[in-house]
Amino acid sequence: MKIELVFIPSPGIGHMKSTTAIAKLLIDSDDRVSVTLIVIPSQFSGDKPSSNVSSVYTESKGRLRYCLLPTGDQPTEQTFISYIDSRKPLVRAILSGLTHEVSTNPDKSRLAGIVVDMFCTSMIDIADEFGLPAYTFYTSNASYLGLQFHVQSLYDEKKLDVSELKDSDEKFDVPTLTRPFPAKCLPSVMLSKEWFPYVLNRARSFRDTKGILVNSVAEMEPQALKFFSDGNMNTPPVYAVGPVLEFKTDGKDFGDEKRSEILRWLDEQPLSSVVFLCFGSMGGFSEEQAREIAVALEQSGHRFLWSLRRASLVGDMTGCPPGEFKNLEEILPEGFLDRTVEIGKIISWAPQVAVLESPAIGAFVTHCGWNSILESLWFGVPTAAWPIYAEQQFNSFHMVEELGLAAEIRKDYRRDFLSGTVEIVTAEEIERGIKCAMEQDSKMRKRVKELRDKLHVALMDGGSSKAALRKFVHDVVENIP
């Protein structure tokens, strides 16, 4: 039986790239499967697709096709959640057209279900309207998924509200972790009284789906995957199908000339000599923080490639991306650019995958976005953890304390629209994290190299992720109404 799945990714570039990659993995793994991706562009791109969207979603081809929604005339102050909800009529219209195609064409693939991004669970209502099974594509890790379910269970069964633990030194047990988890590393949405109900409802939505595809690997998170396979907490099946990575689109929206310039510079550097600093699509810093980073880099003595951007205003709830500093000489320490001209390079945006692949990279200072973590592990690059927003504080704890795969800069740092205040991470903290990550013969570097090999094996025939993907397709067929 030929089947078709409809994917609805979140507009974030990391989510879009991961969804494209999982769609291609599904198609390559089973010639019965076709995929339609309903693409929601960024709300800041106007009526035209943003460069990020067009770089990820190219032309429809074979059993993979794209339906790109217009943004329409949306108020810029609209929150991310309300923007997603406003796209529901357009998604409903596309599903109506797809069901009509199936009903009028006997050779057409059967519509087998809708796979919603972890931030698009409101679209599950549309799956229900059309009588289709809903699945979740969870672009983060299985351990964090376990935290979300655990927090919801604590509230529903024991009336424990973790948002009351804000500013607390308390630690508590999470069933998908092996060691106590500090409340200070909870994401801001879980520590906010206003947003905590949203956290609970999203976890409940996950439970209502037929299965959850997780961008992780069984060998990386044995505690979490064992917990889910044992059928705990009344959760749907969890399929660890990672690492789901999209490399072919890396840097297409960056510009070939700038990309080539960066890679040429890296080619001229010694093996494992460069520390790479990059903080994702939403990662930016104040002038004061940028100066602390500059001091740390100079004091460390290491070569560096630094993706530096200016932070959005605290309190901005629209998700507007960071901008660029207009004059680096005005914000960085006097003479810094001249003193480091032979060993350092400052850029705005980076072709991250191509940089991490370079033999010159010795360590990666990262915001701990899950895609960035997986990319660094795929290439065997040790990291220094500096989380900023979303679930990155959890990811930082996971990498530093649980797995021993990253050095710490400050694992409970946060800078997002919910935090309210902005702390400054000192040059001493940053320098210490850089030196630890750059240590060439460390146990951490050895663990990273070992896990790199396991990630590659997981996607091969007979690997754990390849088997999980096949199990998912089997279950999808079984669940067709």
Check residue 62 and report its DSSP letter. T
Token readout for 63 is 């059993």
- Same domain? For 13 and 128 the reply is yes
In sequence order, what are the residues at sequence separation of 6 or more whose Cβ sits closer than 8 angstroms to the Cβ of residue 86?
A: 74, 78
Query: Are residues 199 and 270 both part of a single domain?
Result: no
Number of domains in the chain: 2
Q: How far apart are CA 319 and CA 42, in angstroms?
A: 10
Residues 239 and 293 in one domain: no
Tell me if 426 is assigned to some domain: yes
| 3-state SS class at 162 | helix
In a domain, 187, yes or no: no
The answer on 208 and 127 residing in a single domain is yes
Q: Which two tokens stand for residue 290?
A: 């940028």
Query: What is the chain's pLDDT, residue by residue, as a tens digit (481 residues)?
Result: 899 999 999 987 888 889 999 999 999 999 999 999 999 988 765 444 444 454 555 556 789 999 999 876 656 567 888 889 999 999 999 999 999 888 888 778 899 999 999 999 999 999 999 999 999 999 999 999 999 999 999 999 999 999 999 889 999 999 999 999 999 999 999 999 999 999 999 999 999 999 999 999 999 999 999 999 987 778 999 999 999 998 875 555 556 889 999 999 999 999 999 999 999 877 889 999 999 999 999 999 999 999 999 987 544 444 566 788 889 999 999 999 999 999 999 998 899 999 999 999 999 999 999 999 999 999 999 999 999 989 999 999 999 999 999 999 999 998 876 666 678 999 999 999 999 999 999 999 999 999 999 999 999 999 999 999 999 999 999 999 8
Strands 171-172, 181-182: pairing is: antiparallel
Instruction: Based on the fold, state whether residues 362 and 412 are members of the same structural domain.
Output: yes
Residues 271 and 338 in one domain: yes
Classify residue 185: in a domain, yes or no: no
Which residues are known to be catalytic?
A: 15, 117
**What dihedral angle (degrees, nearest 10) is formed by the CA atoms of 262, 266, 269, 271?**
160
Cis, peptide link before residue 180, omega less than 30° from 0? no
Judge whether 70 lies within some domain: yes
- Would residue 47 count as lying in a domain? yes
Residue 85 forms part of a structural domain? yes
Structural domain harbouring 101: 3-162+192-247+459-478
Q: Where are the beta strands (DSSP E) in 20-74?
A: 33-39, 64-68
Q: DSSP E strands: which ranges in 48-99?
A: 64-68
270 and 359 part of one domain: yes
Report yes or no on 273 lying in a domain.
Answer: yes
The verdict on 93 and 205 lying in the same domain is: yes
Kindly state whether residues 152 and 13 are assigned to the same domain: yes
Specify the length of the chain in residues: 481
User: 77 in a domain, yes or no?
Assistant: yes
User: 273 and 130, same structural domain?
Assistant: no
Which candidate, 381, 375, 368, 372, places its Cα nearest to that of 440? 381
- DSSP-assigned states of every residue in 42-53: -TTSTTSPPHHH
The CATH number of the domain holding residue 71 is 3.40.50.2000
